[in-house]
Amino acid sequence: MLLVTIPHSGEKVPVEANWLAGLPETVLMCDVDRYVDRLYEATLKKLAIPWIKTEWHRYVADLNRIPDDIDCDSVLGSHHPQGRFSRGFHWSVTTQNDRLMNQPMPRELHDKLVQLIYEPFHAEVRALSERLKKEGAKELYHIDAHSMPSRGTVMHRDPGQWRAEIVISDCQGKSCSKKFRDLVIAAYVIAGFRVGYNWPYLGGRLTEQYGHPESGHHAIQVELNRSLYMNEESKQWNAQNAKEIELKIANALAYIQRELKGFV
């Protein structure tokens, strides 16, 4: 059974995150996977693929991290040193090195945001996984859908490098079977994308948490190059290009779903 999570497309900022108030849109949306849900949702509904997304902004609480991915820049009293998790559970700087937080939040606020944003999302993922298993799914095949800048910034592992159109990551072969990895790569290649593997992304906390192929849950991260469907400077939707990308994604998902029926 195929399922999809989209953890970084949300743009809602809770009132408690007042440090983000008044930021220019280009800064506030710098690292949001803006429009990824829009590109995937129609196909997910058409193919009846179970999926989960969030409404919340990743700078407030990043669902592809864990609550302990904090440092003394983001949460008072953290045992992690300054700069250890500047782009961790709470982002203190963007990947363009724009400052987001001028002072760390109290531990009480951190705990509140964990309960408001992190726990409900992951509870929903766990509940969906359990429901699918009870309904007869012997193996779960999980795509975690993201987007990425077209070029690495100084804050990335690949500064200045131009990237593939799709980057597939599986925690260096640990989060899913080779068979599923090869299927996902083939699906996006056949759909017309240039695909990279485990560079510059290796996979995130979601693939780490859920990717346990020995237990029947295969998780893989799929990063989509933002230049394909949006203006990376203004952060605005490119309707003409996006239509083609949406169709390619639809073809990739349909191929994966169809081929999974033959998996043993």
Task: Enumerate the domain spans of the chain.
Answer: 2-63+123-260
Quick check: pTM over 0.95? yes
Mean pLDDT of 37-61: 98
195 vs 216: CA distance, rounded Å: 26
218 vs 138: CA distance, rounded Å: 11
Closest CA to 121 of 218, 71, 53: 53
Query: What pLDDT, on a 0 to 100 scale, did the predictor assign at position 263?
Result: 86
- Local structure of 93: helix, strand or coil: strand
211 vs 216: CA distance, rounded Å: 9
Tokens of 202: 């290796």
Closest CA to 188 of 263, 259, 261, 255: 255
In the sheet that holds 217-225, the strands lie side by side as: 51-53, 2-6, 140-148, 217-225, 166-169, 195-197
Mean pLDDT of 114-136: 97
Query: What pLDDT, on a 0 to 100 scale, did the predictor assign at position 154?
Result: 87
Confidence of residue 264 (pLDDT cuts 50, 70, 90): low
Residue 224 · residue 166 · CB < 8 Å: yes
% residues pLDDT > 90 (the chain):
98
Q: Which CATH superfamily is domain 2-63+123-260 in?
A: Zn-dependent exopeptidases (3.40.630.40)
Q: What is the pLDDT of residues 68-106, one digit of tens each?
A: 999 999 999 999 999 999 999 999 999 999 999 999 999
